[in-house]
Structure 1
Amino acid sequence: MTFKIITDSTADLDEKWAQSHDVEILGLHITLDGVVYETVGDKRLTSEVLLEQMKNGSKPTTSQINVGQFEEAFRRHAESGQAVLYLAFSSVLSGTYQSAVMAREMILEEYPEAVIEIVDTLAAAGGEGYLSILAAQARDEGKNLEETKAMIEDVLPRLRTYFLVDDLYHLMRGGRLSKGSAIIGSLVNIKPLLWLAADGKLLPIAKVRGRKKGMKEMLSLATQDLAHKTAIVAYSTDLDSAQTLKENLLENPMIDEVLIVPLGPVISTHVGPGTLAVFTIGKEAR
């Protein structure tokens, strides 16, 4: 019997794509100007609205998926006898993964025969989305849950994640980066380049003067040691630069497909306007 793939709204997957590929998305929440918003469904907060409010001085915050949300989702599939593979937002960046683990233990007490597998992707945004896409492709090709999980666990250490941000203030405000590291984001025309390290921590790796140089450096790092022919480019507010990154990536003979996706509201809350990101898969663990 086939299995259900679940991920969360930090994967920045298109909801229509997710529905057509039988991928369930659970949503984190965002508090903006005192109002709590969903990040999945027809009433979800869009990145466009969020980023415009941030430009006007709003300081949104995010809330992890709680145990109750996971319990409801896992119970629904346990009752129907469907196995679940949940690909979780990095445990280093959110408590969402731990909530899922707690809910799994509770459901297994009620339904000992249920199959609920959880993978800490140590990824975010298009990287987490990339893994979700690969999982759906594997399932469609006939791989079972165990085979798909093993494939994802093989790929995730080789996932490359690079962010070029305009200002590190938002990451510092949300506790994803230390105040000391964020100081470089206030320097004139210095564009901080960050990456997700092997342990899932978001770390600054370069201080580049000017956006064009920052994009060039990010491309250089992201295209080393490539193992997959697909790359993902993500953006908040600057689609033109994302298109430029796509064109440059396609000049590389090792890449034959580039997906452009907008950064979702959860990730946008922490990186702010003007952010660009590139996600690729290498041959060796990062």
Structure 2
Amino acid sequence: MTFKIITDSTADLNEEWAKEHAVTIMGLTIELDGKSYDTTGDNRIKVETLLEQMKNGAQPKTSQVNVGQFEEVFRQAAKDEQEVLYIAFSSVLSGTYQSAVMARDLVLADYPKATIEIIDTLAAAGGEGYLSMLAVEARDKGKSLLETKAMIEDILPRLRTYFLVDDLHHLVRGGRLSKTTAVVGSLANIKPLLWIDTQGRLVALAKVRGRKKGMKKMVECATEELGHSTAVVAYANDREAAESLKASLLENETITEVIILPLGPVISAHVGPNTLAIFTIGKNAR
């Protein structure tokens, strides 16, 4: 292993996979009914538990990874003379990226020769997770940290993220979406299709009547001018719908692989039950 790869629990990577591939996952925290929960490790909150409580009216809050947590990890890597590549949750959606930047500056003051590179993915969930997978693949093929970083930064503008959310009020409550969009989405079974724009903001892309039509529209958008043969599907407690999206995506001759990832607790806390998402890489910047 030539360098250390770090990402967040918002990347929704399987922890066993992360251990096998030497990926460190920094865990955001969730506050639910006055109690704080981890999103990594053996005592992490189960997403099924979270979603069930949300169905019953719970309103979870999420907290970013703090400076001290990053400093501890970065400082140990510097002591070990190990290079670090941190693939970060979108700076538009969380302060976690800024915490990492501050921690890096603190460590570099003491270890000026250390290499700590940070990428603001402007992405989340399966998009961030897939970027992390690609970084692991590049590292394991012998690419240097800087070569891997350059590859990821080349992909970033072409990474497409689409969300179909049942209840937009979870996103409004967390400050990730405007109240106006949520009101439109609550009218007559209208399902706004959301995407992450060029600035990393989660915005409405289209308005579709009903979930099935929303899924069809999401596939259409995600498969326009594809630049990569792999797609990622993410879901919250609706594996059957995720499998349906996978089958639809594989009908496109460009797509040869579809990775299905369950949404983790942090992203689920913001988007709520029954959310679906597709992540693809296009030929051109979005």
Letter matched to residue 282 of structure 1: G
SS at match of 1:82: coil
| Superposition map of 1:61-140 within 5 A | 61-140=61-140
Inter-partner Cα distance in structure 1 for 2:76 and 2:35: 29
TM-score (norm 2): 0.99
* TM-aligned CA deviation for residue 238 of structure 1: 1.0
Over the matched positions of the two proteins, sequence identity in percent amounts to: 70
Inter-partner Cα distance in structure 2 for 1:144 and 1:137: 12
Quote the residue 1:215 is aligned against: 215
* TM-aligned CA deviation for residue 251 of structure 1: 1.0
TM-score (norm 1): 0.99
Letter matched to residue 93 of structure 2: L
- Which digits, 9 at most, give the CA deviation of each residue in 1:169-221, with x for residues without a partner? 00000000111121122213111210000110000111110111000000000
SS at match of 1:24: strand
Inter-partner Cα distance in structure 1 for 2:188 and 2:237: 20
Quote the residue 2:278 is aligned against: 278
Alignment of 1:19 with 2:16, yes or no, is no
Aligned residues of 1:166 and 1:192 also touching (Cα < 8 A): no
Inter-partner Cα distance in structure 2 for 1:277 and 1:165: 9
Quote the residue 2:32 is aligned against: 32
Inter-partner Cα distance in structure 1 for 2:102 and 2:188: 45
Letter matched to residue 104 of structure 2: R
After the TM superposition, which parts of structure 1 deviate over 3 Å for at least 4 consecutive aligned residues?
none
Inter-partner Cα distance in structure 2 for 1:188 and 1:82: 55
Q: How many residues align?
A: 286
Quote the residue 1:268 is aligned against: 268
- Which digits, 9 at most, give the CA deviation of each residue in 1:101-122, with x for residues without a partner? 0000000011111100000000
Inter-partner Cα distance in structure 1 for 2:47 and 2:192: 22
Quote the residue 1:170 is aligned against: 170
Q: Where does structure 1 lack aligned partners over 5 or more consecutive residues? A: none
- Which digits, 9 at most, give the CA deviation of each residue in 1:44-78, with x for residues without a partner? 01110100000011000000011011001101111
Quote the residue 1:57 is aligned against: 57
Inter-partner Cα distance in structure 2 for 1:204 and 1:183: 12
Q: Where does structure 2 lack aligned partners over 5 or more consecutive residues? A: none
